[in-house]
Amino acid sequence: MLRLVVATLICSCYVALVAATKPYKRVEDSVLAVAMSLILLLFFLGANWTTIFLRVVERSGTDDASAVFGFSRLHPIVSTMIGLAGVALLISLAGAVVAARRTAKVPTIRLVSTKQPPELTLARGLAWHLFLSHIW
């Protein structure tokens, strides 16, 4: 139980730190980081509730646990955690789609004849495609 409480506290501090500092260059990455951290925090809270619920059931019985928590089984908590896993997957996929669309819009150099980026190969013994002097 102590490990779950410590993990919950660390995750809470991490969510606040990421939301306050916005360490990522792109907004989508910051939003994705905060969303995933919040989902992880909710997982830790669900694990805390599950552990407390099981300990109350073990010591006092289901009636006391349902009086404290408002439910008599763990299905609501587990279903919520499974739903959060699905939400995390959807957020990840949405982030990947947004990143792919943004990358597709980046201008690139293309050959007129094939409409493809050129394959830049180097001759044997060369290390660079171009020499550009800083004096020029």
The Cβ of residue 114 has, within 10 Å, a number of other Cβ atoms equal to: 8
pLDDT at 1: 80
pLDDT at 16: 92
pLDDT at 128: 80
Residues of the chain scoring pLDDT < 70: 136
Its domain, for residue 29, covers 2-104
The structural domain count of the chain equals: 1
120 falls within a domain:
no
The pTM (predicted TM-score) of the whole model is: 0.62
- DSSP code of 110? -
Collapse the DSSP code of 128 into the 3-class scheme (helix H, G, I; strand E, B; otherwise coil) and give the result.
Answer: coil
112 falls within a domain:
no
65 falls within a domain:
yes
Is-contact 23 7, C-beta < 8 A? no
25 falls within a domain:
yes
Is-contact 99 28, C-beta < 8 A? yes
pLDDT at 110: 84
φ/ψ (deg, to 5) at 25: -70, -45
Counted residue by residue, the chain has a size of 136
Is-contact 34 19, C-beta < 8 A? yes
Is-contact 133 62, C-beta < 8 A? no
pLDDT at 136: 56
Q: What are the distances in angstroms from CA 113 to CA 116, 121, 125?
A: 8, 18, 29
pLDDT at 92: 82
75 falls within a domain:
yes
pLDDT at 25: 85
**End-to-end C-alpha distance for the chain, whole angstroms:** 67
18 falls within a domain:
yes
